[in-house]
Chain A
Amino acid sequence: MQLILQLVLDGIVHGCALGLIAMTFSYIYVTTGIFHVAHAGILTLGGYLAWYFTGVGVPFPVAVAIAVAGSAAVGVLIQKGVYEPLMKRRSTPLVQLIASIGIVAVIQNLLAIVFSPNVLQFEMLPWRKSSLHLGSLDISYPQLLTVIVSLVAALGLLLFSSRTALGRRARAVASNRSFAEIARLRPYDVYVYVVAIGAGLVAIPGIFLGVDQALQPYSSLGLLLTAVIAMIAGGVGSLPGAFLVALVLGVLQNLVLAMVPGRWSQALTFAIFITFILMRPTGLFRIRMQRAS
């Protein structure tokens, strides 16, 4: 029983990180229409930026802020430098996807060149190995921070999307770009804001997963794949749906381990997902934001 509870707890931690990745991916996809695979590269970049600045003596919270800002800036560069020219030339979604995949490869390899392809740990943070004991269960400090910060960031994104003028403008652009252009909502400016916000927020799980486990330049695509699945199963466009399904997937991936050997856990998790999506192709939640066809 203790094993099950501990696996659930670890699954919740993993699910919260996945949830924020899924939400931010969904937010960018629904608004811009770009299948932003480069999100995986920015997820990794955030962790490395925080590692670097913490390593040169910047206090960890400040390093986190710099990493978030740096990741947002890279998001802006990607939108202005790659996606926007492609959109203006009316390139197909496939071309945009290929460009995005190219960006991931560039970011990952640049990180490997600059920081080495070795597994890096936040050795400079001694508290990362400390744990909080909840009865017979353990949760490490980085795990605890992952949950708290991911939940706060996810809630913040939801509030931003529904309660602010810019958030509402983004929803309007997402629902119909042509009308948004006629209404002078300046969709291209909105895309820049949305990609920057998504990129800044996705740095958070990149940082805290890095503190808890380790950093590796090439490991984020697997996480993004699970997050994309969460987005689809949650109902494309439903930000809470993406987060909730990611949370469930995180727990499920861990719980499945208790029932079958590890080598079958990924296959079983995705088999459950395929069964679910066959029964409910539009996802768990009704779509709140959807691009016009």
Chain B
Amino acid sequence: MMKRIRIRLMAAGMATILPLALWSGNAAAQAKEIVLGAMLPLTGSAAQIGLEEQNGIQFATDKVNAAGGIRGYKIRIVYEDTQGKPDLGVLAFNRLVDLHQVSGIFTAYSSVTLATAPLATRKKVFVLNPAAQTSKLATASPYLVNTISLAKDEVSIIAKYAAEKLGKKAAVYYDSGSVGIDLRDEFKTAFLAAGGTIVADEAVEFGNTNLRPTLLKIAAAKPDFVFMAATTGPGVTGDQISQIPDYPTAIGTSFFAPFKNYPVTVYHTLVKSSVTGETEKEFNAKFKTPDMAFFSREYANASQIMFKVIDYLLEKGRPVTGENLRTALFEVKTFDTPNGKISFDTNTARREVEIHKLTPAGRTVVEKIAH
């Protein structure tokens, strides 16, 4: 009888001690780990871009962890899928903050970032935006920092260039998402101010691949050029443009930046986005990609900025909270990146913007503008 009781007591003791031991081990492991969040469109029609973004973050994270982490702290990223939808973005934000208790989040997509900005302010969570470009993000939240130029900056550059060099009659072709509409409005304002006129204004639904009717209407308006603000695969748009006689020269921003084999001449701004040749080679080997896409580069570089801010906090012995991340970013202020020095005087980085000319023969940089 006593033996049975002893066994039960031992079992009870083990049952109490074992979880405690496991918990303390886990806590020790957690103590050497910093968890960040990323809310990206990993499925749905924007998933192509979302996966590029995820690869960029993960690449930078794996690299920093392989080098021992940040002052001994490993970085772990929790990814949440938003499908590029604001309602799912809000759920993702709450899960990251309330469940995973992250203090820093990478975001993507203008509508998602706008929807979650008030939450970032209320919950004091630091949000880094390397991709969304709607101009409203400039003042959406004091806790939101944009590492990419916003729509109005790039649009004003290309609108001025087009009015001077390409003509005064423009058509606008945009997708019906938040940033597409924003780009249209910014372009119209800038181009009309430069003395131009808009002869056609046509939207396509985001994700729609039947673009022919809209492109036909644009061509029929006979503009000097068309401002394109839609991200439906450049290959699909290019193929359908190639079947339309006399489609005009196209212009755009980083939002619309076809990479090769476009059937008409394209002038577009591009936020200068570089990585070293060695990094690109390493990335391509890791993810089996032919080149490191624009968004992968932007998220990898933005991750470096986030890690630098965390390093600064750890060096100063300050806790990694959203409030501290935000304060530290402005204390560090200037970051050395493969894109040169990136400075934050405001919530939006100052970046070098280039105007590229893309013809079927190849790509040339026609102007470089620092702003």
Contacts and interface: CB of A to CB of B under 8 A. Distances in A.
Interface of A: 2-3, 6-7, 10-11, 14, 109, 112, 116-119, 121, 128-129, 131, 138, 140, 209, 213-214, 216, 218-219, 222, 253-254, 257-258, 261-263, 266
Interface string B219-263: 010000000000011011001101101000000000000000000
A140 B243 contact: yes
Contact of B43 (A109, A219, A257): A109
B63 to A, nearest CB: 24
Interface stretch (B70-78, B115-123, B200-208): B200-208
Contact of A138 (B44, B176, B217, B243): B243
A14 B48 CA distance: 26
A115 to B, nearest CB: 11
B251 to A, nearest CB: 19
Given A10-B216, A214-B233, A262-B217, A119 B201 contact: no
A219 B45 contact: yes
A121 to B, nearest CB: 6
Contact of A119 (B210, B212, B235): B235
A109 B42 CA distance: 11
Contacts, number: 87
A2 B48 CA distance: 36
B183 to A, nearest CB: 14
Nearest to A257: B213
Interface string B41-53: 0011101100100
Interface of A is mostly: helix
Nearest to B232: A119
A117 B52 CA distance: 11
Contacts of A140: 243
Nearest to B221: A3
B357 to A, nearest CB: 24
Contacts of B217: 3, 7, 257-258, 262
A263 B176 contact: yes
B214 interface: yes
Interface of B is mostly: mixed
A218 B44 contact: yes
Given A10-B213, A253-B213, 4 more contacts: A117-B45, A213-B236, A218-B44, A219-B207
Given A112-B47, A213-B236, A261-B202, A3 B220 contact: yes
B209 interface: yes
A112 B43 contact: yes
Given A117-B48, A119-B232, A121-B236, A263 B216 contact: no
A214 B236 contact: yes
Nearest to A138: B243
Nearest to A210: B209
Contacts of A2: 220
A117 B213 contact: no
Contact of A3 (B48, B204, B207, B216): B216
Contacts of A258: 217
B220 A263 contact: no
Contacts of A213: 209-211, 236, 240
Nearest to A108: B43
Query: Which of B210, B217, B220, B243 has the largest number of chain A CB atoms within 10 A?
Result: B210
A214 B235 contact: yes
B213 to A, nearest CB: 5
Nearest to A266: B205
A117 B233 contact: no
Contact of A121 (B48, B216, B239): B239
Interface in B261-290: none
B213 A214 contact: no
Query: Which of A118, A213, A218, A253 has the largest number of chain B CB atoms within 10 A?
Result: A213
A119 B209 contact: yes
